[in-house]
Amino acid sequence: MKPAQTLELGDRRLLICLGPGGVGKTTLSAALALNAAIGGRTVDVMTVDPAPRLLDALGLTAGDSSIQTVALAGLGAPRGSRLRALKLDPKATFDLLIERHAPSAAARDAILANRIYRNLSTALAGVADYMAMEQLLELHRDTSTGLIVLDTPPAREAIDFLDAPRRMLELLGSRAVTLLSAGRSALRSRFSILDVAARAVLSAFDRLTGLHLLGDVQAFVGSFDGMYAGFADRAAQAQALIRDDQTFVVLVTTAETERIDQAIEFIEALTQLGLKLGAVAVNRLTAPLPNEAAIAGAGLPAALKRKLKRNLDDFSALQQRETSALARLRKNVPASTRLIAAPDLGREPRTLADLAEIASALYELSA
């Protein structure tokens, strides 16, 4: 099986797939990763999407968050190629980050035992976004990996995910972090009466509720002392990586009117983030239809011909709607961005062979 060369990734090391929910983004991510591996590259594919569809498509254990190797036997992959996949576990990634970068064992244990940390590391989407960036940096540091394919969360969450490094840098430089970590003497000398009042309100809340919220928050923020510079440095690295010229961003959509509208919004949001869009992939496009004359000339019963004719009319109407939607999409795709299509497979992709077939069928949409 020969790999498709539609995207011509060359020696790029990061391919980011994003798009609205329900357009087959995860499936196409897996197909592109598999295609690159069949072409001889060493590939890691990571999904940030909370649904386990990517691992299902690759035939791997959905409940396992560790990196798993995909068997490529029978697909024509040359010796030395490799495909691995993992599903992000934000809590495990955050715990590992603390264990690796805490300045001491005591600081590590204090953070991991803090109730603010235990809730923060599992409950907030922003933490998951940043942990995904940490995991991405770990994969990127592995010199044995030639290409990383990143399957992002669906819809607007993908934009939040790509913006996570900037938001982390803002947080680490914010007045709130400095305020919470400051002692009383520092408060008197460095902060305004409004800052002191804010802490007074939290202290009063603690006394009334008995929750000791301020103390826990201060202990949590203070336990990270000495680690903030490292967080900021890695956030800056992640921000640079996703904007690097060697990073290729693929926006996945379908030719439905609603999805095209969402894709156009994505294009505008990516432009605002300063991200260059490499390609727009229109998934599940209707395959070329037979000529009506072919049905009329076929040696089939008249009743069957009438039924086929009705089906052809329905599919023709669908194809016309797709053509109209694609015309709108072309007007909004940057001139330097490629427009490609993946034809409808006609069935749910369930095997590696199905994924390879999807990738090999990609083609460039004419202007």
Percent helix, strand, coil in the chain, to 5, is 55, 15, 35
Q: What is the reported pLDDT for 155?
A: 64
The three-state secondary structure class of 364 is: strand
Q: Is 155 in contact with 20 (CB distance < 8 Å)?
A: yes
Between 159 and 357, name the one with better pLDDT.
Answer: 357
Please list the residues that pair with 343 across neighbouring strands.
Answer: 285
Residue 230 pLDDT class (50, 70, 90 cuts): confident
CATH 3.40.50.300 location in the chain: 14-92+127-159+245-287+302-364
DSSP H or E segment with residue 341: strand 338-343
Between 206 and 255, name the one with better pLDDT.
Answer: 255
pLDDT for residue 252 is more than 70: yes
14-92+127-159+245-287+302-364: in CATH 3.40.50.300: yes
Q: What is the reported pLDDT for 83?
A: 95
Between 301 and 241, name the one with better pLDDT.
Answer: 241
pLDDT for residue 257 is more than 60: yes
Distance CA 29, CA 83 (A): 13
Average pLDDT over residues 180-195: 45
Residue 219 pLDDT class (50, 70, 90 cuts): low
Q: What is the reported pLDDT for 221?
A: 64
pLDDT for residue 62 is more than 80: no
Q: What is the reported pLDDT for 281?
A: 94
- Least confident piece of the model among 78-92, 243-257, 302-316: 302-316
Question: What predicted TM-score, i.e. pTM, was given to this entire model?
Answer: 0.78
Range of 89-103, 178-192, 343-357 with top mean pLDDT: 343-357
What are the C-alpha distances in Å from 284 to residues 27, 254, 326? Answer: 11, 6, 13
Residue 264 pLDDT class (50, 70, 90 cuts): very high
Residue 216 pLDDT class (50, 70, 90 cuts): low
What are the C-alpha distances in Å from 294 to residues 7, 300, 301, 303, 317? Answer: 35, 11, 14, 15, 18
pLDDT for residue 161 is more than 80: no
